[in-house]
Amino acid sequence: MKKALYLMIVFCVTLFTLAQAQDTSIFPKGEIGKNTDNYTGTIWLNELSKPDTAFTFGIAQAVYASGSKLDWHIHPGGQILLITEGTGYYQEKGKPGQIVHKGDVIKCLPGVAHWHAAVSNSSFAYIAISPAQKGKTIWLQKVTDAEYNAIK
């Protein structure tokens, strides 16, 4: 009886360890972003669906290494972020920044300047849905260390 219980415990611990070690992401990380003028750190991008004549919005996954951040920017058609991993920051111009977590949904209205980033001790990932019919992303200034560190 003790031997069976011991084997069952070892089996359960092994299964739990294997489950924890597996990549929980549904989609591959993608490629490290090439336009390093618009972000700091390491950010992978995987364009899941490009806009076309039937679906006029793009869907992409972004994965941030801890501490990585996008510059201030505007999406002329707005953007929805579905946070899928980790902890990050999100701030719109003129509003206090906020901490966002896996499971949060962020709706950024068209034409609103904003930025998003991974916190310093966590990776961060989201699925972004961005209408394309009003134009491409407009990049603005870098996020300052003061702006980044002000969100707590």
Residue 130 within a domain:
yes
Residue 10 within a domain:
no
CATH of the domain at 58: 2.60.120.10
Residue 9 within a domain:
no
pLDDT digits (tens, 9 = 90+) for 96-130: 999 999 999 999 999 999 999 999 999 999 999 99
Residue 18 within a domain:
no
Residue 95 within a domain:
yes
Count of CB atoms within 10 A of residue 70's CB? 21
Rounded Cα gap, residues 104 and 137, in angstroms: 22
Residue 122 within a domain:
yes
User: What is the domain range of residue 48?
Assistant: 29-150
pLDDT digits (tens, 9 = 90+) for 28-65: 887 787 777 889 899 999 999 998 989 888 999 999 99
Domain count, the chain: 1
Residue 21 within a domain:
no
State residue 24's pLDDT score.
Answer: 55
pTM of the entire structure?
A: 0.79
Residue 44 within a domain:
yes
Compute CA distances 81 → 6, 61, 85, 126, 140, whole Å.
46, 9, 12, 6, 19
